[in-house]
Amino acid sequence: MNEDIRGLSSMATRPILAGLCEHIRRAHGIGVRFEAAGGVETARRVREGAGADLLVLADGAVAELAGAGHLLSDTVRPLWVSSVVAAVPEGAPVPALGSEPDLRAALLSARRVAYSTGPSGTSLVGLITRLGLAGPLGDRLVQAPPGVPAGSLLASGHADLAFQQHSELMDLPGVVVIGPLPGDAAISSVFSAGVLASSTRPRRAREVLGLLGSDAASALARSRGMRPA
């Protein structure tokens, strides 16, 4: 049996990729496995020459790595779009999020606000600054460690409001997803993929990359809170 195609990804796409690897193995007879970690850690591994065939990361990180020659540039393609959602601990009051004033009120009433590393966390901090709340929130902002869902800080009692990609919050025990951010405050991230320049099986890796953009992949992405790019 041929050795599995190996991929690297961030945590946000881990649930989708796990289901797709099983589908590709059953439907196409190709072994595929992805290792997920925080996006910053995954990008570092690629820069340091990690032995793998495929990469799925936030679009900006993929573009940067492709520009540095770590990916075959003609294979880079967008796959899925993910919205950042808000969540609260199970049993807690659910704040309204229908408008930007609702969002401001929810942020100001929270004792501690959890957010993630990576592009969604960076965008949230930018949004808070735009709303003029960086000062009032101050040390109430809590960043989850790399690779740790921000929602886990809700379940552990270390935060009472959290923001992260929907796919990373939707199945966490003890967490209730409120929904996406309203209007112009909405935050979304594009996740892209490409074949690593270090791949020893680029032809087979290209085949698997095509399958990640298939109708089956799109259906699974929707079930995990993302949509096709």
Which CATH number covers residue 221? 3.40.190.10
The one-letter amino acid at 132: G
181 and 87 co-located in one domain? yes
166 and 214 co-located in one domain? no
The mean pLDDT value for 41-61 works out to 94
132 and 206 co-located in one domain? no
127 and 199 co-located in one domain? no
211, HSE (Cβ side, Cα atoms, 13 Å): 24
Residues 45, 37: Cα–Cα separation, whole Å: 10
pLDDT for 1:
44
pLDDT above 90 covers a percentage of the chain that reads 74
* Structural domains of the chain, count: 2
The one-letter amino acid at 194: G
The mean pLDDT value for 200-225 works out to 92
98 and 45 co-located in one domain? no
215 and 174 co-located in one domain? no
Looking at the chain, list the stretches that DSSP marks H as alpha helix, in order from N- to C-terminal side.
Answer: 14-28, 39-47, 59-67, 100-109, 119-130, 134-137, 152-155, 166-169, 202-212, 215-223
142 and 53 co-located in one domain? no
180 and 216 co-located in one domain? no
Residues 217, 209: Cα–Cα separation, whole Å: 11
pLDDT for 67:
97
76 and 92 co-located in one domain? no
Query: What's the domain range around 142?
Result: 82-185
Which among 170, 185, 200 is the end of a domain?
A: 185
90 and 76 co-located in one domain? no
- Neighbouring residues of 182: CB distance < 8 A, sequence distance ≥ 6: 97, 98, 99, 100, 102, 103
pTM equals 0.83
- Neighbouring residues of 28: CB distance < 8 A, sequence distance ≥ 6: 211
pLDDT one-digit tens code per residue, 135-181: 999 999 999 988 788 999 998 999 999 999 888 888 889 999 999 99
| Residue 2 in this model has a pLDDT that exceeds 70 | no
- pLDDT top residue among 77 and 10: 77
102 and 38 co-located in one domain? no
| Residue 70 in this model has a pLDDT that exceeds 80 | yes
The mean pLDDT value for 199-216 works out to 94
The mean pLDDT value for 193-220 works out to 94
pLDDT above 70 covers a percentage of the chain that reads 99
- pLDDT top residue among 120 and 71: 71
pLDDT for 105:
96
| Residue 200 in this model has a pLDDT that exceeds 50 | yes
136 and 89 co-located in one domain? yes
The burial class, CB within 10 Å (0-12 / 13-18 / 19+), for 12 is buried
| Residue 14 in this model has a pLDDT that exceeds 50 | yes
Residues 24, 2: Cα–Cα separation, whole Å: 14
